[in-house]
């Protein structure tokens, strides 16, 4: 029997104790079968259980095995596409709905942490750091846009102020969002899984969905069991493979890599990030970093289109870290890992329904910690028959990547290379 462990990450090494969950060896019935125990699946399960549905979650490996247990831990509001682009892409009513929801995910996370007493090192405050004056101008424009949707606690940081929150010489300024922040991502997922079980939900680990029989009474098959359900929620994101073929052509798994230093001395940690905010820069291929609960620097960056695992992660990410913080040149790297997120061409989430009873949400394209929590709420609303907010996402247009299965990876990498040149030379 397969037993897929967590990747060797700092998060797995510092995870809160969690039960070994069994694999499915049975033929069972439920109201909703959720495929995937990342944030999308767990958030959906929690909202559905709170509404009285009977819920079964199938996880191919372990709770939080995917991006949800490996990410940078940054609670970043909004979507991977700016709201003004969304406003130009869709009609005013849909844009209004999407704009109003852009900050809800962070609130949901804080509510979950408080209600279910989840120990995940939650800290408030996230900074977007501008490397060029063009990026600073963009942040000023974003602040005005975000305020239109009620997110009014944002603060622009000039060059002097940003040096007070991060000891890095690269930045012209930044934007501080106190409704952003950071968490230990795997411990958040494990806490949410425990909350699911506390409400009577069932989670099977090491139980990949290998086939879905569609129709009025759908059945999800695993290697040793099956789940008959009224509804299915597909939440496998970049790890889903080809289980639902119609989703695969309009999204592409991509890898991003994270390293974690040894614990820093209290004085070094508080010099680097005195207020303990998390930071991401404004480049197209961005760097993101923060301190862990035990004062290590967790630094991520880079994208591998097509999600091949790089042989030497430290060799790719450490130079980026040292460019931002040369003062860390003698600090040891204790952990390095890779994880996959799912990119769409528009960088907006891919949401919808297949037939009457198979729902999906995936493809938040890099920023998903908040969106996935919102997605769970919106999917649960749709299953309860209130589909207005679900439809606002489901109506977003999605197109296949140019180049088909063979050429989409090199063509997308070429596009990203062009954007990174623009960041570098400011054209």
- 367 near 76, Cβ under 8 Å? yes
Nearer to ligand FAD, 69 or 99 (CB): 69
318 near ligand FAD, rule: CB under 6 A: no
Residues 180-209 touching ligand FAD, rule: CB under 6 A, are 208-209
- 68 near 12, Cβ under 8 Å? no
Nearest-angstrom CA–CA distance, 123 and 114: 13
Nearer to ligand FAD, 243 or 379 (CB): 243
Helix, strand, coil: what percent of the chain each, to 5?
35, 25, 40
Site string for ligand FAD, 264-293 (x = CB under 6 A): ------------------------x-----
Least distance (Å) between residue 376 CB and ligand FAD: 9
Nearer to ligand FAD, 4 or 133 (CB): 4
301 near ligand FAD, rule: CB under 6 A: no
Nearer to ligand FAD, 287 or 423 (CB): 287
Nearer to ligand FAD, 37 or 321 (CB): 37
Nearer to ligand FAD, 245 or 385 (CB): 245
Alpha helices in 1-158 (DSSP H): 10-13, 39-50, 83-89, 92-101, 104-115, 133-148
Q: Which of 99, 173, 236, 352 binds ligand FAD (CB under 6 A)?
A: 236
376 near ligand FAD, rule: CB under 6 A: no
Residue with token string 């997120």:
341
Tokens of 21: 């969950």
Three-class secondary structure of residue 172 per DSSP: coil
Tokens of 303: 């994208």
Three-class secondary structure of residue 80 per DSSP: coil
Least distance (Å) between residue 362 CB and ligand FAD: 6
132 near ligand FAD, rule: CB under 6 A: no
Nearer to ligand FAD, 31 or 134 (CB): 31
Residues 48-107 touching ligand FAD, rule: CB under 6 A, are 58-61, 65-68, 70-74, 76
Nearest residue to ligand FAD on Cβ basis:
368
367 near ligand FAD, rule: CB under 6 A: yes
Nearest-angstrom CA–CA distance, 256 and 74: 14
- 201 near 212, Cβ under 8 Å? no
Nearer to ligand FAD, 157 or 220 (CB): 220
- Residue 309: name the closest of 260, 254, 259, 363 by CA: 254
Residue with token string 């989703």:
247
126 near ligand FAD, rule: CB under 6 A: no
Nearer to ligand FAD, 173 or 236 (CB): 236
Please report the DSSP string for 278-326 in residue order. EEEE-SSS-EEEEE-TTS-EEEEEEEEET-PPPS-HHHHHHHHHHHH-G
Three-class secondary structure of residue 419 per DSSP: helix
Least distance (Å) between residue 59 CB and ligand FAD: 5
Residue 283 CB: number of other CB atoms within 10 A? Answer: 18
Q: Which of 165, 235, 298, 345 binds ligand FAD (CB under 6 A)?
A: 235
Q: Which of 142, 172, 340, 357 binds ligand FAD (CB under 6 A)?
A: 340
- Residue 321: name the closest of 310, 332, 309, 305 by CA: 332
Nearest-angstrom CA–CA distance, 43 and 81: 22
35 near ligand FAD, rule: CB under 6 A: yes
Nearest-angstrom CA–CA distance, 182 and 71: 11
174 near ligand FAD, rule: CB under 6 A: no
Nearest-angstrom CA–CA distance, 212 and 260: 39
Nearer to ligand FAD, 26 or 93 (CB): 26
Q: Which of 6, 10, 11, 39 binds ligand FAD (CB under 6 A)?
A: 39
Q: Rg of the Cα trace of the chain?
A: 21
Least distance (Å) between residue 425 CB and ligand FAD: 27
Segment lying near ligand FAD (by CB under 6 A), choices 92-100, 245-253, 368-376, 409-417: 368-376
Residues that bind ligand FAD (CB under 6 A): 35-41, 58-61, 65-68, 70-74, 76, 208-209, 235-240, 243, 256, 258, 288, 300, 339-341, 362, 364, 366-369, 372
């Amino acid at each position: 029997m397969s037993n897929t462990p967590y990747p060797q990450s700092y998060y797995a090494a510092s995870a809160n104790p969690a039960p070994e969950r069994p694999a499915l060896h049975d033929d069972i019935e439920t109201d909703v079968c959720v495929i995937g125990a990342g944030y999308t699946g767990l958030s959906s399960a929690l909202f559905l259980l709170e509404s009285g549905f009977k819920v079964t979650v199938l996880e191919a490996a372990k709770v939080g095995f995917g991006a949800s247990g490996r990410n940078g831990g940054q609670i970043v509001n909004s979507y991977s596409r700016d709201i003004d682009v969304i406003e130009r892409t869709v009609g005013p009513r849909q844009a209004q709905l999407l704009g109003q929801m852009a900050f809800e995910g962070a609130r949901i996370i804080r509510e979950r942490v408080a209600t279910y007493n989840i120990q995940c090192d939650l800290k408030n405050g996230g900074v977007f750091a501008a490397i060029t004056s063009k990026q600073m101008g963009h942040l000023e424009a974003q602040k005005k846009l975000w305020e239109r949707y009620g997110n009014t606690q944002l603060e622009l940081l000039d060059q002097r102020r940003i040096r007070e929150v991060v000891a890095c010489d690269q930045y012209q300024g930044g934007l501080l969002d106190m409704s952003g922040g950071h968490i230990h991502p795997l411990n958040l997922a494990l806490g949410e899984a425990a909350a699911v079980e506390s409400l009577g939900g069932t989670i099977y680990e090491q139980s990949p969905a290998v086939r879905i029989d569609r129709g009025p009474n759908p059945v999800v098959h695993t290697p040793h069991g099956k789940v008959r359900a009224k509804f299915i929620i597909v939440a496998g994101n970049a790890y889903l493979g080809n289980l639902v073929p119609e989703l695969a052509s309009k999204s592409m798994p991509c890898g991003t890599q994270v390293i974690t230093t040894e614990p820093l001395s209290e004085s070094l940690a508080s010099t680097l990030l005195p207020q303990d905010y998390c930071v991401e820069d404004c480049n197209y291929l961005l760097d993101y970093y923060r301190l862990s609960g035990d004062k290590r620097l967790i630094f991520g960056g880079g994208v591998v289109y097509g999600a091949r695992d790089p042989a030497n992660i430290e060799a790719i990410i450490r130079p980026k870290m040292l460019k931002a913080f040369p003062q860390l040149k003698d600090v040891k790297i204790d952990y390095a890992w890779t994880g996959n997120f799912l990119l769409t061409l528009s960088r907006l989430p891919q949401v919808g329904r297949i037939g009457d009873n198979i729902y999906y949400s995936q493809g938040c394209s890099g920023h998903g910690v908040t969106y996935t929590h919102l997605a769970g709420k919106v999917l649960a609303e749709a299953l309860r028959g209130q589909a207005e907010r679900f439809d606002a996402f489901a109506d977003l247009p999605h197109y296949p990547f140019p180049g088909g299965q063979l050429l989409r990876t090199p063509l997308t990498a070429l596009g990203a290379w062009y954007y990174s040149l623009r960041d570098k030379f400011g054209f």
